[in-house]
């Protein structure tokens, strides 16, 4: 038996101004997009934005439904819409920002497991890591250099192909 440990590195920015300009742009877009979330059931608005390899910023937000499971997280709304419109552009970064209606989030929003899986799929499609920027509405942001950092030992198409 072997015992192994997985570590992740991440950066903590205390405010937006500390970040590189391209990340500031995508954080701004995610924060703004949270205001357009359709979250009448949870009141938990989430905004997301991706920075594509052509430098376009594409944003989205969570979309809920009276039949609860049919709703979709902001990250997947954004990733699927961006990839439907720009299928040849790799994704440089995704920013995510939680903006609940009834309280302020005390720490940056971390993406759910299903959204991490979808991010990893596009990393593999383009052989390019996606920086994941997890944000509050006005303060701290946490950045990991790859979605894989958030999903160790991930399942991928390699598994389907016996690799």
Contacting ligand THU (CB under 6 A), which of 33, 62, 131, 136?
A: 62
Contacting ligand THU (CB under 6 A), which of 78, 111, 122, 123?
A: 111
CB crowding 61-75: b at 16 or more within 10 Å, else e: bbbbeeeeeebbbbb
Catalytic residues: 75
Helix axes of 21-33 and 74-85: crossing angle, nearest 10 degrees: 110
Nearest distance in Å: CB 95, ligand THU: 12
Nearest distance in Å: CB 110, ligand THU: 7
Query: Does residue 39 bind ligand THU (CB under 6 A)?
Result: yes
- Running DSSP on this structure, what letter comes out for residue 147? G
Contacting ligand THU (CB under 6 A), which of 27, 29, 50, 74?
A: 74
Q: Tell me which stretch binds ligand THU (CB under 6 A): 8-16, 18-26, 111-119, 140-148.
A: 111-119
Query: Does residue 71 bind ligand THU (CB under 6 A)?
Result: yes
**What Å distances lie between residue 118 and 41, 66, 95, CA to CA?**
24, 24, 14
Helix axes of 74-85 and 113-126: crossing angle, nearest 10 degrees: 20
- Number of residues binding to ligand THU, judged by CB under 6 A: 14
Query: In which element (H, E) is residue 143 found?
Result: strand 141-144
Contacting ligand THU (CB under 6 A), which of 30, 31, 44, 151?
A: 44
């Amino acid at each position: 038996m072997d015992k192994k440990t997985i570590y992740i590195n991440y950066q903590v920015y205390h405010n937006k101004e500390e970040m590189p300009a391209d990340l500031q742009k995508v954080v701004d877009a995610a924060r703004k997009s949270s205001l357009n979330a359709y979250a009448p059931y949870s009141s938990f608005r989430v905004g997301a934005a991706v920075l594509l390899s052509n430098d376009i910023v594409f944003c989205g937000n969570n979309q809920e439904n009276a039949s609860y499971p049919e709703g979709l997280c902001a990250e997947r709304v954004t990733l699927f819409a961006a990839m439907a419109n720009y299928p040849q552009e790799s994704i440089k970064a995704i920013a995510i920002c939680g903006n609940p209606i009834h309280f302020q989030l005390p720490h940056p929003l971390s993406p759910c497991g299903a959204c991490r899986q979808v991010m990893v799929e596009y990393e593999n499609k383009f052989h390019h890591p996606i920086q994941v920027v997890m944000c509050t509405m006005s303060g701290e942001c946490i950045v990991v250099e790859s979605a894989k950092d958030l999903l160790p030992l991930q399942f991928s198409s390699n598994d389907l192909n016996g690799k």
